Structure 1
């Protein structure tokens, strides 16, 4: 299968889910962004994994698991985000035994998989289908009028009334949500846009 390599672009606080964060992954070749909603602990663990100079006084769960894997003679070769169902991403951890080259594949939450990937400096991949279903292409040149429209439309989005909005308003709402780094809302809006496009096709 032709996998698409992702890089970590950052982590931002979720504006619509209390205590949640949005992990932003990006496909470098197309600049398509993949927002993944994660919890506070996972966000902290990924951030600490990226900051190699910061060491917590006691090992975190992902640090402990990483040390166990290395002590067992394995390494993490890659992480693959292979599926999305009802907004939930599914990932595999692909391990390899250094002595025998035997491969071991474990199912994992995407947040845990990324936290492990940063500790092993392992590449993160996804499929064309996942990028197509959940990816967002950022539009940075957003006209000022969109910001005004967003304040009127935001309450409708939060109340689950996306289906009542025009296609133009949905697109404006999507662009503003992305600009404000509210990626979980952006994903919900984009799914409604894609649902309409499928009906047109």
Structure 2
């Protein structure tokens, strides 16, 4: 169980960091920059929200197979580094930040990426916390994709590791199964309790926009 928990922490942390590196600049561009095709790109993000991840499982599997990345940590991480939900959530929050702050930063000589990392992200802590909760919970509990992409126990995620308590011949080991499920759920409950205030503030602020 400790191995599964460590795998889950590693995979969820890397996915979240990569999602921030992609989603934050994209959301900033859609919220604060003016360029041709901006509304079309935002419409594509909204369409992406309608596509279930299961619909992309076969293309992802084939692509990872071609590059020989199946049954690796990369197979668990790469398909999720772009999050349409993250772009949408952060874009809505960035729109609530006054444009005057960004104009003042530009007058002080800051570039766009400096504005993102030094101004937008510190001011967007509630939205980042809300997105972090959604991202971590989704990938911590995900069983569908790890069941397809991973075969080795050494890199199994917590949800996939629970299946080891299933034995088709001897039956279900209900005692260890319930104990393992409790251990897996406990970190999520603790994380939510620690980030509850920022999570609610992020959702409330985004919903008003």
Name the TM-score, length of structure 2 as normaliser.
0.29
Greater share of helix: 2
Bigger Rg, structure 1 or 2: 2
Name the TM-score, length of structure 1 as normaliser.
0.30
Q: Whose RCO is larger (CA < 8 A, sep 6+)? A: 2
Greater share of strand: 1
